[in-house]
Amino acid sequence: MTILYTSDHEWLRIEGDTATIGITDYAQSQLGDVVFVELPKVGRTLKKAEAAAVVESVKAASDVYAPVSGEVLAVNDAVTAEPSLVNSDAQDKAWFFKLKLADKSELGGLMDEAAYKAHTE
Protein backbone atom coordinates (compact mmCIF):
# COMPACT_ATOMS: atom_id res chain seq x y z
CA MET A 1 0.00 0.00 0.00
CA THR A 2 1.32 3.44 -0.98
CA ILE A 3 -0.12 6.81 0.02
CA LEU A 4 0.42 9.75 -2.33
CA TYR A 5 -0.75 13.39 -2.34
CA THR A 6 -1.64 16.08 -4.88
CA SER A 7 -0.91 19.80 -4.73
CA ASP A 8 -4.74 20.24 -4.63
CA HIS A 9 -4.83 18.43 -1.25
CA GLU A 10 -6.21 15.05 -2.28
CA TRP A 11 -4.71 11.82 -0.95
CA LEU A 12 -4.61 8.47 -2.75
CA ARG A 13 -4.13 5.09 -1.13
CA ILE A 14 -2.81 2.77 -3.86
CA GLU A 15 -3.48 -0.95 -3.48
CA GLY A 16 -2.74 -2.94 -6.64
CA ASP A 17 -4.61 -1.22 -9.49
CA THR A 18 -7.11 0.53 -7.19
CA ALA A 19 -6.76 4.05 -5.77
CA THR A 20 -8.88 5.12 -2.80
CA ILE A 21 -9.19 8.93 -2.88
CA GLY A 22 -10.16 11.60 -0.38
CA ILE A 23 -9.14 15.05 0.80
CA THR A 24 -6.31 15.61 3.24
CA ASP A 25 -6.58 16.62 6.86
CA TYR A 26 -4.97 19.93 5.84
CA ALA A 27 -7.74 20.51 3.27
CA GLN A 28 -10.55 19.85 5.73
CA SER A 29 -8.90 22.17 8.28
CA GLN A 30 -8.87 24.95 5.65
CA LEU A 31 -12.51 24.32 4.70
CA GLY A 32 -13.93 24.32 8.22
CA ASP A 33 -17.11 22.41 9.08
CA VAL A 34 -18.10 20.24 6.11
CA VAL A 35 -21.88 20.25 5.59
CA PHE A 36 -22.32 18.55 2.19
CA VAL A 37 -20.42 16.10 -0.02
CA GLU A 38 -21.37 15.13 -3.58
CA LEU A 39 -19.60 12.07 -5.01
CA PRO A 40 -19.25 10.77 -8.58
CA LYS A 41 -21.47 7.96 -9.87
CA VAL A 42 -20.12 4.41 -9.80
CA GLY A 43 -19.10 3.40 -13.32
CA ARG A 44 -18.15 6.96 -14.36
CA THR A 45 -14.82 7.26 -16.13
CA LEU A 46 -12.75 10.19 -14.91
CA LYS A 47 -9.82 11.85 -16.62
CA LYS A 48 -6.89 13.09 -14.58
CA ALA A 49 -7.61 16.64 -13.23
CA GLU A 50 -11.36 16.37 -13.98
CA ALA A 51 -13.74 17.60 -11.25
CA ALA A 52 -15.00 14.42 -9.58
CA ALA A 53 -16.69 15.46 -6.34
CA VAL A 54 -17.83 18.56 -4.45
CA VAL A 55 -17.25 19.41 -0.80
CA GLU A 56 -19.21 22.24 0.81
CA SER A 57 -18.38 23.73 4.16
CA VAL A 58 -19.79 26.62 6.12
CA LYS A 59 -17.06 28.76 4.46
CA ALA A 60 -16.88 27.58 0.83
CA ALA A 61 -17.59 24.97 -1.81
CA SER A 62 -14.65 23.20 -3.42
CA ASP A 63 -14.26 20.76 -6.26
CA VAL A 64 -12.32 17.58 -5.64
CA TYR A 65 -10.37 16.58 -8.75
CA ALA A 66 -9.47 13.12 -9.96
CA PRO A 67 -5.74 12.88 -9.25
CA VAL A 68 -5.45 10.10 -11.86
CA SER A 69 -7.59 8.70 -14.67
CA GLY A 70 -9.81 5.71 -14.08
CA GLU A 71 -13.23 4.21 -13.58
CA VAL A 72 -15.16 4.84 -10.34
CA LEU A 73 -15.51 1.44 -8.64
CA ALA A 74 -17.14 2.57 -5.37
CA VAL A 75 -18.19 5.66 -3.44
CA ASN A 76 -18.37 6.18 0.31
CA ASP A 77 -22.06 6.67 1.12
CA ALA A 78 -21.15 7.25 4.78
CA VAL A 79 -19.61 10.62 3.79
CA THR A 80 -22.73 11.81 1.95
CA ALA A 81 -24.92 10.69 4.89
CA GLU A 82 -22.60 12.25 7.49
CA PRO A 83 -20.39 14.97 5.90
CA SER A 84 -18.82 15.84 9.28
CA LEU A 85 -16.83 12.57 8.97
CA VAL A 86 -14.55 14.57 6.66
CA ASN A 87 -13.64 16.81 9.61
CA SER A 88 -13.17 14.00 12.11
CA ASP A 89 -11.36 11.39 9.97
CA ALA A 90 -10.41 12.90 6.60
CA GLN A 91 -7.67 10.42 5.76
CA ASP A 92 -9.35 7.16 6.74
CA LYS A 93 -13.10 6.70 7.26
CA ALA A 94 -13.99 9.73 5.11
CA TRP A 95 -12.56 8.43 1.82
CA PHE A 96 -14.59 9.70 -1.15
CA PHE A 97 -14.28 7.20 -4.00
CA LYS A 98 -12.25 4.31 -5.37
CA LEU A 99 -10.87 4.31 -8.91
CA LYS A 100 -9.55 1.49 -11.06
CA LEU A 101 -6.30 3.00 -12.33
CA ALA A 102 -6.26 3.53 -16.10
CA ASP A 103 -2.58 4.51 -16.33
CA LYS A 104 -0.18 3.88 -13.44
CA SER A 105 2.39 6.24 -15.00
CA GLU A 106 0.12 9.14 -13.86
CA LEU A 107 1.18 8.36 -10.28
CA GLY A 108 4.66 9.67 -11.09
CA GLY A 109 3.70 13.33 -10.68
CA LEU A 110 2.29 12.92 -7.17
CA MET A 111 3.97 13.66 -3.82
CA ASP A 112 4.92 11.39 -0.97
CA GLU A 113 4.05 12.39 2.60
CA ALA A 114 7.31 14.31 3.20
CA ALA A 115 6.92 16.34 -0.02
CA TYR A 116 3.26 17.07 0.76
CA LYS A 117 4.11 18.17 4.29
CA ALA A 118 6.73 20.57 2.87
CA HIS A 119 4.11 21.81 0.33
CA THR A 120 1.68 22.77 3.12
CA GLU A 121 4.19 24.51 5.40
Q: Which domains does the chain have, with CATH numbers?
A: 2-120 (2.40.50.100)
The predicted structure's pLDDT at residue 72 = 98
The predicted structure's pLDDT at residue 53 = 98
The predicted structure's pLDDT at residue 25 = 96
The predicted structure's pLDDT at residue 1 = 86
Find the farthest-apart pair of alpha carbons in the chain and give their distance in angstroms, rounded: 37
pLDDT < 70: residue spans in the chain? none
Is the Cβ–Cβ distance between 56 and 79 less than 8 Å? no
**24 sits in which H/E element:** none
Gyration radius of the chain over CA positions: 13
